[in-house]
Amino acid sequence: MPELPDITIYLEALGSRILHQSLERVRVASPFLVRTVAPPLTETQGRQVRELRRIGKRIVIGLEGELWLVIHLMVAGRLHWREPNAKLARKLGLAAFDFSNGSLLLTEAGTKKRASLHLVKGEQGLRSLDPAGLEVLDSTLENFAKELTSQNHTLKRALTDPTLFSGIGNAYSDEILHRARLSPVALTQKLSDEQVLRLHRATLDTLAEWIGRLREETGEAFPEKVTAFRAEMAVHGKFGHPCPICGQKVQRIRYAQNETNYCPTCQTGGKLLADRTLSLLLKKDWPKTAEDLEEMRAAHRV
């Protein structure tokens, strides 16, 4: 799912292309995309783009007349900039936003169509779609700590809760926690002041660093390689690969369709966190450390 750094780069690319341009029409190919009926999408026709915003992981296009198009890409939704009146791909195409200088296409891979488009009127309508999480890049340590400890959650859950923190998801939370040298299952209300400070700094540094990386990678082009898995990431998507800091193999916790990646040496004091699927299978035989796990795997191979 595109997160804060990815959405920031999308908005910068859109700013140079559609800001102050008039939206000629919206073509919708999927009946599952549009989640509002009033005002109708026809109301957007001919209206100029006045503003671009990010709300959490949503892209917001502000039009004349206090109309707001709100796009949530979810996991597999992506944006593409093409020539005017470009055709929508039959299988992946969800919608096209046509301007005189080009078409913004919205696509979604996979069979589960989760991306959404809302059209709302006025700031009140926009607020109804805002989870109201803290904008961490603008946060003070005091505000960050207050939000973090408002409920006693695991760090992974807290960072990815959109009502607590805006725009952070599965990928960047892994990278933040690795940089902060904190366990994903540590409880927020059990952290020391020094750990909260470390987490705040790691959050700011990680997000700023990746915005810079993506900005440099994209240049003046439109971002077409938006992915949650990048070679330069330290732990996210790196299960079984060596940690770039200590060389220990990156481990994972799997739950539902998500996966948390972490380094046992850097983050959990060498302790191997129980993976739900394997721990249920192994029960009392679940290895306590990464070294125990490697020995178990080696014995199994023999």
| pLDDT, position 85 | 97
Q: Whole-angstrom Cα distance, residue 123 to residue 213?
A: 33
In this prediction, residue 234 carries a pLDDT of: 98
Backbone angles phi, psi at 182, to 5 degrees: -125, 145
Instruction: Evaluate if residue 282 carries a pLDDT over 60.
Output: no
Check if CATH label 1.10.8.50 holds for domain 136-218. Answer: yes
Architecture, CATH, for domain 4-127:
Alpha-Beta Barrel (3.20)
On the 0-12 / 13-18 / 19+ scale of CB atoms within 10 A, 182 is buried
- CA–CA gap between residue 177 and residue 193 (Å, rounded): 16
- How much of the chain, in percent, has pLDDT values that exceed 90? 86
Over the stretch 100-141, which tens digit does the pLDDT of each residue have?
Answer: 999 999 999 988 889 999 999 999 999 999 999 999 999 999
Q: What is the largest CA-CA distance in the chain?
A: 70
Domain with CATH 1.10.8.50 in the chain: 136-218
Residue-level pLDDT at 112: 85
Could you tell me where in the chain the CATH 3.20.190.10 domains are found? 4-127
Position 290 confidence tier, pLDDT thresholds 50, 70, 90: low
Residue with structure tokens 């913004």? 104
Question: Is this prediction's pTM over 0.85?
Answer: yes
- Residue 86, both tokens: 């470009």
Q: What is the structure's pLDDT at 129?
A: 97
Strand partners, 187: 154
- What is the b/e burial string over 69-78, where b = at least 16 CB atoms within 10 angstroms of the residue's CB? bbbbbbbbbb
Which pLDDT belongs to residue 288?
A: 53
From the list 176, 187, 195, 175, the residue with the least C-alpha distance to 149 is: 187
Q: Is the pLDDT of residue 54 over 90?
A: yes
Encode pLDDT of 1-17 as tens digits.
Answer: 899 999 999 999 999 99
* Alpha-carbon gap, residue 118 to 238, rounded angstroms: 35
Confidence check: pLDDT of 235 > 50: yes
Per 3-state DSSP, the chain is made up of helix, strand and coil in percentages (nearest 5) of 35, 25, 40
